[in-house]
Structures are given as C-alpha cells and as structure tokens.
Structure 1
Amino acid sequence: MSDETPPEQPERAAERVLDAGALRALAHPLRVQIYDILSQYGAQTASTLAGMTGESSGATSYHLRALAKHDLIREVEGRGTARERWWERPRGAVSFANPDAMKTPSGRAASQVVMSEFLKRRNEQLLEFVNRSMDEADAWAETAMISTATTDLTQEQMTELTTRIQEIVNDAVDKYRGQDAPGTRTVTIRTDIFPLPEQGH
C-alpha cells in the first residue's frame, strides 16, 4: 500500500457556450473533423491533419486559420516553425446549445450542421470499431462497452442520472488525460441518454 497523497487535479475550466459567430465558423464538415481530431488526438499541424483527413495541407491550413479567428483552436506556444505551425484545441467542455443562436435562422442552421457532423463522425467511428473488432482479434474490444437499456424516468430523474454519469466521465478524463505510459491508447467515451418518442407519435 502507498500513503502518498495523489497530486491535486487542476481546476476544471468553465464550460464554453459557443456564440453564433463561433458556431457559424465551425459549421463546415472539414472544420468539424479538424476540431474533433484536435479534441481527440491533441496538437496537429496542417500537414498531419491533411494526412488524417485526405485533404490538402493548403485546405487544412485555411480552415485552421478560420477556426482560430473565433478562438476555437489556438497555436501551440513554443512549438513548430514559421513554415510548420502546431495547433491545439483549448481544454474544457464546449456546448453547442446556445439559446440565443437558436433564435435566428442562421444560428439554427449552423447549430444543425455542427451537431449533424459531430454525430456523423461519432457513428462512423463506432461502426469502424465494431467492424474492426469483428474482423480481427482485439483485446481492447473485450473491454469496450456498447450497451442499450430502457427504463422509465421523470425529467428530474433523468437529470440526476445524466449528472451522475457526467461526473464519472469527468473524473476519468481528469485522472487519465495526457498520460503516455506504455500500453495506453486514445479512447472515446460515449454516453447517450434521451427520451423515446411518446407512444403513438
């Protein structure tokens, strides 16, 4: 046993609610893909993003600058050169649900594009994982969880459940993000809780 006190975790940054301008800047399939790659895999250059997306480095560089204008991403200080700049997504939770943006047609359209592209990418990643695990032996597949359950909740109970699950996810992210010990891999955590349509609808 060890009686060492674990190091204190840095204080969690407040959730950023994207304003209408940031939502419009993000509302492009390639920009969503770039933003998500930076969120999942950390800092990248226009060249590495080109390799990951199948686009040209000129295209990824253009979209990186567009994202940076709205502080969705930032240049990594002290890394790279004038010819090869590194970009990262600032840490912290981001919400695409902006009530003010939803009051305008352009805001609603941008929100829809962003959410649709993110969900499309999540579903593609999930299907790729399922197909890969079926085609080849993968010890990681044995520890993955893809589960669906159905129950009956009030709105208050659903709020309590989502809060508890989010706390578990936040604890895991705070504890393990950035570790580079041998055997680690980037893992995506999916949590889906939503009410089904009412019977007859």
Structure 2
Amino acid sequence: MPENEKLPVAAQRRVLDVGALRALSHPLRVRMFDILAQEGPQTASTLAEILGESSGATSYHLRALARHDLIREVEGERAGRERWWERPAGGVVYDSRAVQGSPAGEAALQVAVAEAMRRRHDELMEFFSGRIDKEPAEWADASSSLTSGISMTAEQTIDLIKRIQGVIDEAAEAYRDQKGEGVRRVSVRADVFALKNLTNKKESAS
C-alpha cells in the first residue's frame, strides 16, 4: 500500500505533476475545482448556472480536469445524459521540486499557483471587506484572519507547519461528512513562509 494511503483521508495529498498543473492554469477550472470542494458533486449544467457560463464551456473544462484525475465521475449518478462530478477526498500540493528542471513544468506551476492564490485572495477580500458585516453574529465571531511574525529556524518552522497541519487534518477528518442544521463549509488556511531580510539589505547597502 502506498505510504499516502495509510494516512486518514483528510491527510492524503497528491503532488501535482506537469499535466495536472497545466489543467489548473485556467481561471475557470480553478473556480470549478474549488466549487466541487466547497459545494460537493456538480454537473456541467449546475456549474454553468453558478458561474454564469454555458454548459458547453463547463463540460469542456470538466473533461480537462478529469483527464488528469483532478476530479472523477460520481459512480451510479446520472442526471439524464449529464454526469455528476466530484473531487476526490484529500488535498493537492504545488511542489516546485516535482517539476524542477522542466521549463514547461515550472511555467505551468507558476501559472497554476498564481491562479490558486488569486482565487484565495479574492475570497478572503470578499469576506473581510464587506460580507462579514452581513453574517449572523455567531459566524462573524467564528471568523478570523491572524498574522504573526516569529523568529525561528527552518527546523522549527517545519515542526510548526506539521503541528498546524495536524490540527487541520484532525478537524477535516472528524467533520468531513457532517451535515445538518448550522453546518456550513468553512475555509481554513495557513500560510507559513520566510520574510525578506530587510535589515541585512540595508546594512549591505550602507
């Protein structure tokens, strides 16, 4: 059994190859990919209605995502001739080491990451720049955006990432199929990266 399959479903992650990165380098595909994660299985028609696109366009992009196993058809589900599509459980990883040395792969990675980050930023801004004021009090209180600058070594930072990811994975696994009154999809995000060393730059310039 591959090592990844021994993990709980929520902790399983696929490192994207060049083909998958190219498939996710289109803004509409990134949006569709996110909708399938947030809203569950969809057809080309339901996606078209959500996105204000034609079903022909969404059907084309669904096939492009499916070719690289980013989504799959829901077994035993059909809406007439239309197929239902879903995202497999688990996450995806944009890892530069997987395409290192491949100019096409590195270019696809840059575009795919840019689209994913743009989408992520747009969602964050849309919520905190206005929609939070329209949410019920309990959901406004249940929303947060935290930032902290910490002085750590690479090893300490990796340990922190693993602990944060463990907490997220635990919650994702515990509540993965939860439904019922009061349940909503919640975005949980964590960005950990080294800041530019501005002090050294100033010192070297003097």
Question: What TM-score results when the alignment is normalised by the length of structure 1?
Answer: 0.89
Q: For 1:118, give the aligned amino acid.
A: A
Task: Tell me which residue corresponds to 2:169.
Answer: 170
Task: Tell me which residue corresponds to 2:91.
Answer: 93
Give the secondary structure class of the aligned counterpart of 1:80. Answer: strand
CA distance in 2, matches of 1:14, 1:70: 17
Q: Deviations over 1:41-66 (max 9, x none)?
A: 21111111112222111100000011
CA distance in 1, matches of 2:95, 2:88: 19
Task: Tell me which residue corresponds to 2:185.
Answer: 186
Structure 2: give runs of 5+ residues left out of the alignment. 1-6, 202-206
Matched-pair identity in %: 51
1:11 aligns with 2:8: yes
Corresponding residue to 2:78 among 73, 76, 80: 80
CA distance in 2, matches of 1:136, 1:26: 31
Q: Provide the aligned length of Structure 1 versus Structure 2.
A: 192
Structure 1: give runs of 5+ residues left out of the alignment. 1-9
Give the secondary structure class of the aligned counterpart of 1:99. Answer: helix
CA distance in 2, matches of 1:90, 1:137: 32
Give the secondary structure class of the aligned counterpart of 1:187. Answer: coil
Contact 1:19 1:98 in 2 (8 A): no
Question: What TM-score results when the alignment is normalised by the length of structure 2?
Answer: 0.87
Q: In the superposition, relative to structure 1, how do residues 64 and 136 fare at CA in structure 2: closer, same or farther (>3 Å)? A: closer
More helix per residue: 1 or 2?
Answer: 2
Contact 1:38 1:44 in 2 (8 A): yes
Q: Deviations over 1:43-96 (max 9, x none)?
A: 111111112222111100000011111111110011113522100011112112
Give the secondary structure class of the aligned counterpart of 2:74. Answer: strand
CA distance in 2, matches of 1:176, 1:187: 11
Contact 2:15 2:94 in 1 (8 A): yes
Task: Tell me which residue corresponds to 2:159.
Answer: 160
CA distance in 1, matches of 2:100, 2:51: 30
CA distance in 2, matches of 1:165, 1:81: 40
Task: Tell me which residue corresponds to 1:112.
Answer: 110
CA distance in 1, matches of 2:76, 2:57: 24
Q: In the superposition, relative to structure 1, how do residues 45 and 100 fare at CA in structure 2: closer, same or farther (>3 Å)? A: same
**What is the CA-CA distance between 1:138 and the residue it aligns to?**
4.0
Q: Stretches of 4+ moved more than 6 A in 1?
A: none
Q: For 2:105, give the aligned amino acid.
A: G
1:64 aligns with 2:62: yes
Give the secondary structure class of the aligned counterpart of 1:162. Answer: helix
Q: Deviations over 1:155-189 (max 9, x none)?
A: 01100101000000000000001211211001000
**What is the CA-CA distance between 1:14 and the residue it aligns to?**
3.8
Q: Deviations over 1:82-123 (max 9, x none)?
A: 522100011112112152423222111111111111111111
**What is the CA-CA distance between 1:21 and the residue it aligns to?**
1.5
Contact 1:17 1:98 in 2 (8 A): no
Task: Tell me which residue corresponds to 1:196.
Answer: 195
Contact 1:43 1:89 in 2 (8 A): yes
CA distance in 2, matches of 1:190, 1:199: 26
CA distance in 1, matches of 2:122, 2:60: 25
